[in-house]
Amino acid sequence: MGQLFSKKNMEVFSTPLGLNNPVTVQVLGICSALAVTAKLEPAIVMGLSVTVITAFANVVISLLRKTIPNRIRIIVQLVVVAALVTVVSEILKAFAYDVSVQLSVYVGLIITNCILMGRLEAFAMMNGPWESFLDGIGNGLGYAKILVIVAFFRELLGSGTLLGFNILNHEWIKDLGYTNNGLMLMPPMALIIVACIIWYQRARNKELQEK
């Protein structure tokens, strides 16, 4: 049990949450961060979906890594990811249909997510199943964290709601002169918020300033 949760394994899990975040440091997965963060609920579902798929795809590829011919490794990775994405997509349609509709084609596009393919190639192909699982969970949650932060501000300031609950659309708030900013619901604002997060993270960590 101690080896499973060793310092090295915990670093594999925790580093993507901060100092090596896949979105703000590796600058991967930006497209979906722009597309699904106008509302908080689909952002949460998308983040959790990517986390689950990345974790289990890492485990499967790690288990198969010594038997996969090098020349077809990318094809095998895509087949594994496509199978997991299909399962997750069907589960969303069955139990969270409204969110599935909001996410539209972006669930299917998880297959080509740079974070996912990057972890399979850079980590799962060279490490054991447990370490690969932790790496997948860490990178998935690191990605989800950024999506949730961006969606929080976009929905709150753009629609005045959070998870569908009215927060800022009250008469007394409007009487103070506040109005929702429709620009927050447009994709460029997601990019600006991500840029602000990157700036904040780099300003707070000297390690990142040297990169």
Q: pLDDT tens digits, residue range 124-133?
A: 999 999 999 9
Alpha-carbon distances, residue 200 vs 22, 48, 140 (angstroms): 15, 24, 21
Q: Which pLDDT band holds residue 149 (cuts at 50, 70, 90)?
A: very high
Alpha helices in 96-182 (DSSP H): 97-103, 114-119, 129-159, 171-175
Residues 6+ apart with CB under 8 A from 78: 111
Q: Which pLDDT band holds residue 4 (cuts at 50, 70, 90)?
A: low
Residues 154, 156, 159, 165, CA torsion sign: positive
pTM score of the predicted model = 0.89
Residues 184, 186, 188, 191, CA torsion sign: positive
Mean pLDDT of the chain: 87
- For residue 108, what pLDDT is reported? 77
Average pLDDT for 24-50 = 86
- For residue 162, what pLDDT is reported? 93
Beta bridge pairs of residue 161:
166
* Amino acid of residue 39: K
- For residue 209, what pLDDT is reported? 65
CA dist., res. 32 & res. 28, Å (int): 10
Average pLDDT for 67-76 = 90
Residue tagged 């440091």 (tokens): 25
HSE, CB side, 13 Å, CA atoms: give it for residue 123. 26
- For residue 59, what pLDDT is reported? 96
Residue bearing the bigger pLDDT, 209 or 128: 128
- Bridge-based pairing state of the strands 165-166 and 161-162: antiparallel
Average pLDDT for 63-89 = 91
Residue 157 pLDDT > 60: yes
Alpha-carbon distances, residue 159 vs 34, 50, 111 (angstroms): 16, 26, 30
Residue 156 pLDDT > 90: yes
